[in-house]
Structure 1
């Protein structure tokens, strides 16, 4: 059975199909949440909150084909809400390094990059994570963030400019 049919059944209240869909997405959801909070416990809490919110509102999903984008959108909102509530300093652990795609980059550079990404506002941070860590096309990012595709491009451009400024400043100070 294809995923879209399973989503339609989940929308109609089939709990097993919803569970199946969550099992398909759980690793991606965890990875995104972890990139926001850099902590396994907090990331799991965000994923749990996301699954709950998705479960109680799946009947509102209009387009079954958009399930993945829809649940990632919920996750991003949960992650940003979590960070607003916590408003804490996040220390980067060595566990984070396994999530960084380019293993050839030196550890110091990886840490600088993650620290720089953490300094971005929520919108910029989201677009960077979705584009470069989840490798999503701009169209899907637009759907997840509920903004036009052109806005994704300009937001990505501004986020990269801001990252360059932060990283150049760290290089000058380091």
Structure 2
């Protein structure tokens, strides 16, 4: 952890090699978060590039190195949401994703229903549900990312899950 903090401090001071090392270690996480919003490989890769660019441009403003991961995740979420808002595209699940889901689950329809329900979920609930259950982050980490109280994260997670239950029951 100390080595990571030192790497982040060097990157904040403008060391491009340290920044590259940080991005290499986080690129899979950036991609997974972007993909969980977009559900398209090419678009998620585009978002990943945008996130890296925005991080490079603004890393000098990072005041607390221990919040680097939360800061980077927040950039990824914002870029993903902005992409959805700009493109007004219908979110779809590509064939590779369907194949992956089929190999990981006996009931692909249930997973597709879940993705459909998530797509219709309000952004503030969707973000928390995705980070908690798709990215396996703790509620404390989510609280740090969104800079909101832990109790608010818990409330929004609960409300989001309740809305998902209602949506999934309607699909059945």
Superposition TM-score tier, normalisation by shorter sequence:
over 0.9
Deviations for 1:53-87, whole angstroms, at most 9, x for unmatched residues? 11111011111111111100010001001100011
Q: Distance in 2 between matches of 1:48 and 1:124?
A: 25
Shift of 1:96: 2.6
Q: 1:152 aligns to what?
A: 153
TM-score (norm 1): 0.92
Q: Structure 1 stretches of 5 or more lacking a match?
A: none
Runs of 4+ in 1 over 3 A off after TM superposition: 97-100
Alignment check: 8 A CA contact 1:50 1:75 kept: yes
Shift of 1:93: 2.1
**Structure 1 residues 11 and 98: alpha-carbon distance in aligned structure 2, compared to 1, 3 A threshold:** farther
Q: 1:43 aligns to what?
A: 44
Does residue 1:74 correspond to 2:75, yes or no? Answer: yes
Alignment check: 8 A CA contact 1:139 1:149 kept: yes
Q: Distance in 2 between matches of 1:96 and 1:10?
A: 35
**Structure 1 residues 34 and 99: alpha-carbon distance in aligned structure 2, compared to 1, 3 A threshold:** farther
Deviations for 1:26-63, whole angstroms, at most 9, x for unmatched residues? 00110110111111111111111111111111011111
Question: Which secondary structure does the structure 2 equivalent of 1:115 belong to?
Answer: helix
Question: What is the RMSD of the two structures over their aligned residues, measured on CA atoms?
Answer: 1.6
TM-score (norm 2): 0.93
Alignment check: 8 A CA contact 1:138 1:152 kept: yes
Q: 1:118 aligns to what?
A: 119
Number of corresponding residues: 170
Q: Distance in 2 between matches of 1:57 and 1:170?
A: 43
Q: Structure 2 stretches of 5 or more lacking a match?
A: none
Shift of 1:146: 1.8
